[in-house]
Amino acid sequence: MATPTLKQQKTFALIRIIGGLAAASVLGYSFVTNILAGQPAEGPVLMTGLMAFVGLGYSAFYTRKLSRVAEAEKGAEPR
């Protein structure tokens, strides 16, 4: 199987970053809303908050990957 081009890698990373941030936003909103409504931070509510952090971590990982791909692309440019 052929390896994706640098442009494809950048596109994939950007899509994953946006997806991770969207998931973290929705889950974070749900977590905060439940806490403000008086729900205890345990069980499903706690898992919602943890998954929001996982979404942020997912976005951070692919942000680093996007940075590495951009550096590789900069190094591959003809001078």
pLDDT at 30: 96
pLDDT at 36: 97
pLDDT at 43: 95
pLDDT at 3: 87
Please indicate, yes or no, if residue 3 is contained in any of the structural domains. Answer: no
**Structural domain containing residue 16:** 8-74
Please indicate, yes or no, if residue 62 is contained in any of the structural domains. Answer: yes
Please indicate, yes or no, if residue 2 is contained in any of the structural domains. Answer: no
Please indicate, yes or no, if residue 15 is contained in any of the structural domains. Answer: yes
Please indicate, yes or no, if residue 1 is contained in any of the structural domains. Answer: no
Please indicate, yes or no, if residue 18 is contained in any of the structural domains. Answer: yes
The string of DSSP codes covering 9-67 is HHHHHHHHHHHHHHHHHHHHHHHHHHHHTT--SSTHHHHHHHHHHHHHHHHHHHHHHHH
- Write down the pTM of the prediction: 0.84
pLDDT along the chain (79 residues), means of 10: 88 95 96 95 95 96 92 78
The three-class DSSP label of residue 79 is: coil
The three-class DSSP label of residue 3 is: coil
Distance CA 70, CA 68 (A): 5
Please indicate, yes or no, if residue 57 is contained in any of the structural domains. Answer: yes
- Count of the separate structural domains present in the chain: 1
